[in-house]
A and B are shown apart, each in its own frame.
Chain A
């Protein structure tokens, strides 16, 4: 590989939560040991660390945006802030004091600007932290969003940027990114500019419904997209129907993973499925090969 090669980033998403994204991502991290940086972008419910047992190298605060804070000693109680706030974040407390609910405040600064008494401060907001760690598979970048904090999309972008920087620095060919569920802000932040997307779905009415929406999103961003059906034997007819829909959409089917209780056993032992003799390990290996990252 020459120096200018940019790493190939595979982002694993699902639409519906709990379809097995993280178990697949952990397995891929093991299969790509020594060749990939791992990024956990499910920043509001990160789980990959439970399998990969990262040893912390460095951690940094994640500060993003600002929040309004009413200074009691300056506040005249005119109530203009409550009137102007579009997010219902300014509340009148029982003792007739106005205060900003930090959870509801979106940091727009309208109240700060228009307070006639200049009584609203606007400090930077600490939204969580991000970390770089060593694992048995390679470097992992992960994060922890603060309790009820905002800006998970920006934290996702930060994690991906760091993962890319480390991959370039270490001259590794791959980045394996475990994405969040849904189709909103953090998912969009996980996908934009990725080399390819793998959607892990399941043969249930919810899995099918959510897959359609997430496929639309991937196609909207014009990213090459593959799909694998996890727990396919729970409902074989639906698996076939899903695979037909995937092919019709222009995405690629890259395999099926069987329903396997040993996946939970592996998780309890903090091992990736491919590090055990679970029957589904062979299925996951086949999906990895079908993605053709290595060729």
Chain B
């Protein structure tokens, strides 16, 4: 089963949930860190690299000036303004390019070929019994989704995997969540947490994925998140209490389940709840079928 851990709001505890789940599940578990702008799971699972990082590239155009007659067909075609023609010469702006390959296809002179442009790396680490695969976007690169797709291409065909999603609700989140089996939305019981939870719920419903909610730092705010979930028939999978010891362990890079063994039960129960509510048992609104 492929489970994604996501949230609209940042800092609600996605990574905490993902790494602790991976730890309590142990052997054979693969955690994929899809927050490629700011990957953090490795700070907690602390694995050893088990192979060289793999460079991820996207194809961008290169113009052969000896063949190009400056007709401008490529720049007129490009939806991303990645090519411009000035004084019959084509200028390429690789940082704008999405790698669609259109310019190469429309060039009447066959003067464009594609060359790889590096956007980041995918690293694989052995972290105890679990495997951590993470994407790391190069600083200054805007385009996260192709790197996220490269990370997801390494999801094992068999067995279970957990995806740690980036915050927000736009393209990088959608690229992470697509074609997963279940989404765990982590929130906190505050007005910001609730507002962003509603946005995240709209996204997973749009993608028609089954989902449930984890309330982190329960007790630190008010109870509007729980009331919202009740009204919307959304399963609350777990409540993780507001516990300064968890925050302090986190600040040092320690896992809650390692520093505070009583939390093992919380995450074991969360896993059981997720398995009990996976695709077969919930409808597209995340509601349990009875």
Contacts and interface: CB of A to CB of B under 8 A. Distances in A.
Contacts of B139: 183, 213, 216-217, 220
Contacts of B222: 268
A43 B167 CA distance: 12
Interface stretch (A29-37, A71-79, A198-206, A250-258): A198-206
B167 to A, nearest CB: 4
Contact of B106 (A45, A113, A205, A213): A113
Interface of A: 14-19, 22, 42-45, 47, 50, 65-66, 84, 86-87, 103-104, 106-110, 113-114, 145, 147-150, 152-153, 180-188, 202-206, 209-210, 213, 216-217, 220, 234-235, 238, 261, 264, 267-268, 270
Task: Please classify the interface of chain B as helix (H, G, I), strand (E, B), loop, or mixed, using the class held by over half of its residues.
Answer: loop
A153 to B, nearest CB: 7
A65 B79 contact: yes
Nearest to B201: A147
**What is the interface residue range for chain B against chain A?**
35 or more
A39 B86 CA distance: 36
Contact of B102 (A104, A108, A152): A108
Nearest to B42: A209
A28 B251 CA distance: 27
Contact of A109 (B43, B99, B102, B191): B102
Contacts of A183: 37-38, 137, 139
Contacts of B106: 113
A185 B196 contact: no
Contacts of A113: 77, 102, 105-106
A18 B171 CA distance: 20
Interface stretch (B3-11, B49-57, B230-238): B3-11
A14 B172 CA distance: 18
Interface string B251-264: 11100000000000
Contact of A45 (B9, B44, B221, B253): B9
B190 A268 contact: yes
Interface in B5-19: 8-12, 15
B275 to A, nearest CB: 26
B70 interface: no
Contacts of B202: 147
Nearest to A220: B140
Interface of B: 8-12, 15, 35, 37-38, 40, 43-44, 77, 79-80, 98-102, 105-106, 137, 139-144, 166-174, 178, 190-192, 195-196, 199, 202-203, 206-207, 220-222, 247-248, 250-253
B24 to A, nearest CB: 20
A234 B192 CA distance: 22
B142 A188 contact: yes
15 contacts: A47-B196, A50-B191, A50-B192, A86-B101, A103-B178, A104-B178, A107-B79, A108-B100, A153-B142, A180-B168, A181-B10, A183-B38, A184-B172, A185-B143, A188-B140
Given A17-B11, A113-B77, A103 B207 contact: yes
Given A103-B206, A107-B79, A203 B251 contact: yes
Contact of A267 (B40, B192, B206): B192
Nearest to A49: B195
